[in-house]
Chains A and B, each alone.
Chain A
């Protein structure tokens, strides 16, 4: 379902006098439909950039990202936006909920940008699934951190995605809530039939996955100055 080949991304670096420094160079990575995969990576290792490239939030400098028969890296920005809106879900470490919108509206907006209608029943069902059926009209600031993360999970699944990308989803939660959130993400993805690619630096989180890989092994950026 997801095959990445020779993917590269550089950013201009102030330390290098504004010259581009390679952050991501992944020769090959594969993820099967419905598979749940953990990527281990330390802070600054480029794993968030890797997820952004897959999601189409960033344009690749080179390489292929074959997702569901489409090369994401070859698409223009508008097409990447559409693909992400229709077939991907994204869970951020900081949740990135819309503070001015209710819990229900956050989830409804998650399903609306792909061109589909706002399916209130589906949104309610998702929020009930994550245990927030009684908090539909609350605003994020009225929820606990764990509850906010659950809204983020429901929103990521709102557009019935084929792939959910999770970037340190338990990073802002305590141990117990982190375990709960992780279990919820994994179960919800499995129930929805969505593949899950989760990046984390936490061994306890990654220990839950049968398929785990060290991002440092996968990502081999050129040394600064050699890009």
Chain B
């Protein structure tokens, strides 16, 4: 009972410095957790975002570029492949499903992708999950000038079923390069938390035959998304296209190629983590400075405690515990900082890539960071505690007579 009373009164007496210090700790803990979670979550989200496909076949070039273009709808296509190449891979016995993609147009910066209806009727974009069209809509039909719009794109562009739009040429929005064709929105997809949410889907022939596109390449495709029957098939096709052939690139497995990207930008994570560590140490230092500064104000109280018979280790424990409590208050508030920052970052990543972070996911850093911060603060309290421990009672309390 004594220790809680001393802690409570001391924290109340120094409420302002307690608040300021706990605030800086909250910032440090929140930042540390966000840096870690964004790293872990974005890596997991990107690596696991295969939209249901095992591999991508495209023009000769970078596998990563191919995956970013066909799966994440980022980057430009490395080139085109012919209808014959598509037919060959589609009929290959190792291939379970082959969905062609054609890119090259946008609507106000959101990518327009030509594909086949099967993508929405037969493919699971995640285990047990198929694309669902919102009530009142449907998938585009055949070669009609119809569009099925991803949920995020529809929301941002304000498109509803029945609305019309004219595509713009290229992947980057240029108001001067509008096509003549008018497309009608016939359906909006339910959110999938995948890059598909940011796309306006139209029939394959739509992109291929868009006025202004070179008729010579009217049957060409940008890439083919593939589901394979067995993992061995992937290695076999890898051998066939990448090692023996020299025209096409077979990107397999999708997850490993994205993971490789994260390996390359690992230094960025390390810089962020270093910044978070520095913030944490500065916060622990401010705990030390704050308690140390309030020591002179508390000198008399500490001497009175001693006069009442409080042992030195009691005072030592009280000061260290106070530092730890400030750390714990800050760590608890750190979760608020963490939640706000992570939601903001998740919103940005979702807007830019369509990939959704799981903001409620667990991770060891969510307990390691707060516990380590409390320990660091307790450690920061040791020097002021030693100072408290050395308060000369007789000298502090009364003039010698």
Contact = CB atoms under 8 A, between A and B. Distances in A.
Interface of A: 11, 23, 41-49, 52, 55, 57-58, 77-78, 81-86, 88, 90, 92-94, 96-101, 105, 108-110, 112-114, 117-118, 155, 159, 167-168
Label chain B's interface by main secondary structure: helix
A81 B310 contact: yes
A94 B311 contact: no
Given A41-B401, A46-B401, A94-B398, A85 B309 contact: yes
Interface string B6-47: 100110110000000000000000000000000000000000
Contacts of B394: 48-49, 52, 57-58
A98 B5 contact: no
Given A97-B304, A105-B5, 13 more contacts: A44-B401, A48-B394, A49-B400, A82-B311, A84-B309, A90-B308, A96-B307, A96-B397, A109-B2, A112-B1, A113-B309, A113-B310, A117-B1
Which of B6, B308, B311, B312 is packed against the most chain A CB atoms within 10 Å? B308
A41 B401 CA distance: 9
13 contacts: A46-B401, A55-B307, A81-B311, A92-B397, A93-B398, A98-B304, A99-B301, A100-B13, A101-B9, A105-B9, A113-B308, A113-B311, A118-B2
A46 B311 contact: no
Top 10 A-B pairs, shortest CB-CB distance: A85-B309, A113-B309, A100-B13, A112-B2, A84-B309, A113-B310, A48-B401, A81-B311, A52-B394, A43-B401
A109 B305 contact: yes
B60 interface: no
B299 to A, nearest CB: 12
Interface in B361-401: 393-394, 397-401
B306 interface: yes
Which of B2, B304, B399 is packed against the most chain A CB atoms within 10 Å? B304
Contacts of B398: 48, 52, 92-94, 96, 167
Contacts of A83: 309
A94 B401 CA distance: 13
A116 to B, nearest CB: 10
A55 B393 CA distance: 11
B298 to A, nearest CB: 9
A84 B1 CA distance: 20
Contact of A82 (B13, B300, B304, B309): B309
Contacts of A85: 308-311
Contacts of B301: 98-100
B312 A81 contact: yes
Contacts of B6: 109
B2 A113 contact: yes
Interface string B290-325: 000000000011011111111111100000000000
Nearest to A90: B307
A109 B1 CA distance: 10
A209 B304 CA distance: 28
Nearest to B396: A96
B141 to A, nearest CB: 78
A122 to B, nearest CB: 14
Contacts of A97: 304
Nearest to A101: B9
